[in-house]
Amino acid sequence: MIEVRRSLEVPHPAARMYALVDRIEDYPSFLPWCLATTVKRGPGQQVAATMQVGKGMLRHEFATANIHDPEQLTIAIELVRGPFSFLRGNWQFTEMETGSRVDFVLEYEFASGVVGRMFAPLFSAAYGRMIDSFAQQAARLDSAAAT
């Protein structure tokens, strides 16, 4: 099993960072490896998401069932279907004096050795830089709002 664990302090409020991660439908506009998303918001905090990911000719789709909790500023991710035998993740956003801390943990294992060998480098790179991508998007949005 592969585990990605990242934490980053950013100069943006925790609620702002939560809102960026919550808006799965916006991912294709700033995550280069995210090609398309479909999002269905259910009752309460339930969110079903499908993501098409890839680079070049290498593409795959996976679906997750998520719990988005805007009061606790957490997002929990569970695999529904895709090229994994296991996938589970969690986002936690914590307010700090100078902004917030964003914590991201993702555990996954590919179902097939062939698919795993093909996708492992893309997934490791993409998810290893996930928090950085959201921090950069927050800065771009702040810059655009200031002009």
**Per-residue pLDDT, 42:** 93
Mean pLDDT by 10 residues, the chain (147 residues): 90 96 96 93 95 85 96 97 91 97 92 73 73 89 79
Strands (E), the chain: 2-10, 34-41, 46-55, 58-69, 74-81, 84-96, 99-110
**Per-residue pLDDT, 1:** 83
State the Cα angle at 24 between 23 and 30, rounded to 5°: 90
SS3 66: strand
DSSP state of 25: G
Q: Which of 22, 26, 5 is nearest to 140 (CA)?
A: 26
**Per-residue pLDDT, 98:** 94
**Per-residue pLDDT, 65:** 97
Read off the pTM.
Answer: 0.89
Q: In this structure, what token pair is assigned to residue 35?
A: 């090609």
CA 144 from chain centre, in angstroms, equals: 23
**Per-residue pLDDT, 145:** 77
How far is the C-alpha of 48 from the C-alpha of 72, rounded, in Å? 19
**Per-residue pLDDT, 2:** 83
How far is the C-alpha of 143 from the C-alpha of 139, rounded, in Å? 6
